[in-house]
Amino acid sequence: MQRIFVLTSVFLLGLALLIGGSLPCLAGDIQIITTPELKKWLAAGQKPFLVYTLSPVEFYEERIPGSVCIPTEQMKTSRELPTSMDTPTVFYCAGPG
């Protein structure tokens, strides 16, 4: 059974601080969604750009189909992120605990 995890607010804050210097992103632009919300998006045919933020090893063990692996430490230099700020992007990891 495929499990979907949503990143925690602590992780999101850390990610925003990590890449905040290179993206014109304001805190108000960041929305935290739940696993059920993401499932609804996917079931409705909405296709956000999905980014798994842990290691490639963990990514290959379990991931949401269609997602890409960009570990947090590679966010600033990755060329895989969408260039448009209008592209809905979901960053996720293994969740808390």
Greater confidence, 51 or 84?
51
What span, in angstroms and rounded, lies between the C-alpha atoms of 41 and 96? Answer: 22
70 CB neighbour count, 10 Å cutoff: 20
3-class state of residue 19 by DSSP: helix
Are the beta carbons of 64 and 4 closer than 8 angstroms?
yes
Per-residue pLDDT of 3-38, as tens digits, reads: 444 444 434 444 444 444 444 555 567 888 898 999
Are the beta carbons of 48 and 92 closer than 8 angstroms?
no
Confidence at residue 26, expressed as pLDDT on a 0 to 100 scale: 52
Per-residue pLDDT of 69-96, as tens digits, reads: 999 999 999 999 998 888 999 999 876 6
Confidence at residue 55, expressed as pLDDT on a 0 to 100 scale: 92
Are the beta carbons of 11 and 51 closer than 8 angstroms?
no
Confidence at residue 58, expressed as pLDDT on a 0 to 100 scale: 92
